[in-house]
A and B are shown apart, each in its own frame.
Chain A
């Protein structure tokens, strides 16, 4: 039985979910126990995000924004609570199944791009496809299409290190799209860019959300950008202080 089938089977057996819901977070808590003491990073956080919604998560440093994103991205497990992506109970899966979910259903965009500089733009973009088992021809074709849509097709044979910050972030966006994920998680995607380039990148994410109905969750410090998303969730001290449409 393939991992996909396992995932589908679990989703059918374990929950009945609303087809319009891309993500559901239920009573999510994360507590770190360290020598410094017990730190509650998230305290009973719950929210849902509909398919095609562009949601920003804002809040001061230490409010739990990145912790939420790490949980939703299945990079870390919660102390308690559940997360459903496309109805799949994420933390009922083992590490290998979680890796498959990250590959097929989640796209990551990082603040510092996290591209592999020794290889070309095209190879960076197609890497999640290759990991998913896509054929080289199909991965090349998809990567080229996405790079064209994002206006950097001419850079496909260059190495990321030779591109500007804005161009590198576009490459990262292209990489997040290659497997047609259910959710795109963007962690401060404009944080390392100047204002103008940051706006360009943000407009691109907006375009993906509105034109291509992508579900995007963006963590940001920038209140102006957050106001331009469909909805903002304000976190403070690990709790949701405000969750409102913009």
Chain B
């Protein structure tokens, strides 16, 4: 039997059992599309994370107390970051600058609307130490000691989907923060700021969604009581970052945590890839379930068509022809399932990235992380689905090919 006739015969057999064939194809579609969606979203997230950290200067490292962000078994001994700590770090070799920061979240009111945003409180003139490529819109002024001025990120000024700007230069905004005092009572602090600077889009989601205020203003608004949340430590050159990190660790042990953007990327990427690997396993399990569906479908098909197989053998079909007929059926299921899975997976990836958004810490509009589909990865998933389908078809096909024609012809 030539390949064309083999293909047509198998295709006819599948069409003859439309519903079952479609359901089996659907199983393969679900498995392969799930793997495609998850791969695409994971790749999108990885690129998104990398872009975020690429905006940071290569010569900085972040230092935080063990109480926040760098928690470990010795967190009980964590240091409170204050001016003494800053002086000690400043005196370390290869350290060129130490920038203290308060961070938190506030609600800002402007033109009758309210937004929940992140607030970063530091010397605004030092912002470019951390983010060297930062640019301001024309007319912006940056002052070190102005307690009533604020610099606002692009996403706050131009919220996604809004027709008009939320804030303009020179405008007064009202920031409201709440904290819980020592008696457990919730206290609200409100402060007005004049917008003296607006940031151009930086590509760093955190800074684009932040209001930057003076250090003293932040201490007051966020009720930090001179306890800094984080220090940005600038080393002389990017090559000195590891040395400075070792110096800080050597001096403060585990009471302070020092980390670099590179290490942060690695940790985040590791977490993301661990997550992706787990989710990919789920997708592959779905594919295997699809393959079991193919085994069931073709096994039933062999049982139902046992007399047909007997007749085929009686009129001279070789065992290899019967084997090939069922393998081609499995391949066609795999081919349609895998191909449809790719299309649905790509479409599903975009739909999911739009419908499932991430709300950043501190509030603000949700972040859309578009999926990224690598053609090589798509081909791999397609081949995996097809191969699994063919492997799944082998046992029923082998069973059919080994049937004795006489036994098969006798079967009702």
Contact = CB atoms under 8 A, between A and B. Distances in A.
Interface of A: 70, 73, 75-76, 95-96, 99-100, 102-104, 108, 110, 114, 116, 118-119, 127-128, 130-133, 136, 175, 179
Interface stretch (B62-70, B283-291, B311-319): B311-319
B5 A99 contact: no
A124 to B, nearest CB: 10
B13 to A, nearest CB: 7
B12 interface: yes
Given A70-B406, A75-B405, A118 B12 contact: yes
Interface string B310-330: 111111111101000000000
Given A110-B409, A133-B2, 18 more contacts: A73-B314, A75-B313, A75-B314, A76-B404, A76-B406, A96-B319, A99-B313, A99-B317, A100-B316, A102-B316, A104-B316, A108-B314, A114-B307, A114-B314, A116-B311, A118-B15, A127-B315, A131-B315
Given A70-B406, A99-B317, A114 B1 contact: no
Contact of B321 (A104, A110, A119, A131): A131
Nearest to A179: B316
A114 B316 contact: no
A202 B318 CA distance: 31
A131 B317 contact: yes
Given A70-B406, A75-B405, A110-B311, A95 B316 contact: no
A95 B15 CA distance: 31
B308 interface: yes
A75 B317 CA distance: 12
26 contacts: A70-B406, A75-B314, A76-B406, A99-B313, A99-B318, A102-B316, A103-B316, A103-B317, A104-B316, A108-B314, A110-B311, A114-B307, A114-B310, A116-B308, A127-B312, A127-B315, A130-B2, A131-B312, A131-B315, A131-B316, A131-B317, A131-B318, A131-B321, A133-B2, A136-B5, A175-B315
B316 A118 contact: no
Identify whether the interface residues of A are mostly helix, strand, loop, or mixed.
Answer: helix
A45 B2 CA distance: 40
Given A108-B314, A110-B311, A133-B2, A95 B319 contact: yes
In order of increasing CB-CB distance, the 10 nearest A-B pairs are A103-B316, A118-B16, A114-B311, A75-B406, A128-B315, A102-B316, A76-B406, A75-B405, A108-B314, A99-B318
Contacts of A130: 1-2, 5
Contacts of A99: 313, 316-319
Contacts of A119: 12
A233 to B, nearest CB: 21
Interface of B: 1-2, 4-5, 12-13, 15-16, 307-308, 310-319, 321, 404-406, 409
A132 B317 CA distance: 8
A99 B406 CA distance: 13
A118 B21 CA distance: 15
A186 to B, nearest CB: 13
Nearest to A3: B318
A110 B316 CA distance: 15
Nearest to A113: B311
Nearest to A105: B316
Given A76-B406, A110-B311, A118 B318 contact: no
Contacts of B405: 75
A185 B318 CA distance: 20
Most buried by A among B16, B315, B404: B315
Contacts of B404: 75-76
A116 B310 CA distance: 11
A99 B404 CA distance: 12
Nearest to B321: A131
Contacts of A73: 314
Contacts of B314: 73, 75, 102, 108, 114
A188 B118 CA distance: 89
Contact of A108 (B2, B15, B16, B315): B315
B316 A132 contact: yes
A73 B307 CA distance: 16
Contacts of A75: 313-314, 404-406, 409
Contacts of B15: 118
A3 to B, nearest CB: 9
A134 to B, nearest CB: 10
Nearest to A128: B315
